Homo-oligomer: A and B are copies of this chain.
Amino acid sequence: MLRNHKKIPEPTIERLPLYSRPLEELLKAEVPVVSSDTLAKLCGVNPAQVRKDLAYFGEFGVRGVGYEVASLLKEIKKILGTDRKWRLCLVGFGNLGSALFENHNFRRRGYTFVAVFDSDPAKIGRILENGIVVEHPKKIKEAVPRLHIQIGVIATPPFKAQRVAEMLFSAGVRAVLNFAPIQIRKPECCVVENVDFTISLENLAYHLAKLH
């Protein structure tokens, strides 16, 4: 990464995936070049924002012209690490878990589940796509290094989530995507992203209630 001396704001990182989606469309449509103005419109943000965000990482654009679509997309993917493959494990194979496991968006973007854990005896031993077998979470410790698992996805009931997270961390996983509606305590060195539908719903409800 080019300019790590200037610290990059978290919101910038969160917008990069936003930029990459319309860029993929433009690439497909064989549009060679895009200006910060049109890209901004496609993403619903301010053009100066787009320029500033991209400038954190290098000078990708050409003054008077714009950004070359293909190379910009490649740069963004490099920054986000989307050019690599990532190996995930899933803990919790309930409704949500299995929906995530079967979700094509993940694989398409380079995120592959290589292990699945669930403590329900009725599920243990079940054979899924790619020969993955549902195993008891106590196997996490051993599986993480063996399968080079880099990211853990937690889709368990909330009261089990903290325990599972600790198992993942102590097995060497440094990044966790948490779908359980609780606040996970984590070691300094690790990253946790929370996805909580009900927070979004409560947000909607608040705004609806306010609209009268």
Interface residues of A (CB under 8 A from B): 1, 13-14, 16-18, 21-22, 42-44, 79-82, 84, 86, 94-96, 98-100, 102-103, 105-106, 109, 111, 150-151, 174-177, 181-183, 189, 191, 193, 195-211
- A sample of 24 cross-chain residue pairs with beta-carbon separation below 8 angstroms, ordered by A number, consists of A13-B203, A14-B203, A17-B196, A17-B203, A18-B183, A22-B183, A43-B183, A80-B202, A80-B205, A81-B209, A84-B205, A94-B99, A95-B102, A96-B99, A96-B103, A105-B181, A105-B197, A106-B201, A111-B198, A150-B208, A175-B205, A177-B197, A193-B200, A195-B197
Q: How far is the CA of A18 from the CA of B198 in the complex (A)?
A: 10
Q: In the complex, which of the residues B81, B109, B150 contacts A198, with contact meaning CB atoms closer than 8 Å?
A: B109
Which 6 A-B residue pairs are closest in the complex by CB-CB distance? A81-B209, A81-B205, A95-B99, A99-B99, A193-B200, A175-B204
* CB-nearest residue of chain B to A211: B174
- In the assembled complex, the Cα of A106 lies from the Cα of B197 at a distance in Å of 9
CA distance A86 to B201 in the complex (A): 10
Contacts beyond the supplied A17-B203, A80-B209, A84-B205: 4 A-B pairs with Cβ under 8 Å = A21-B181, A86-B205, A106-B201, A191-B211
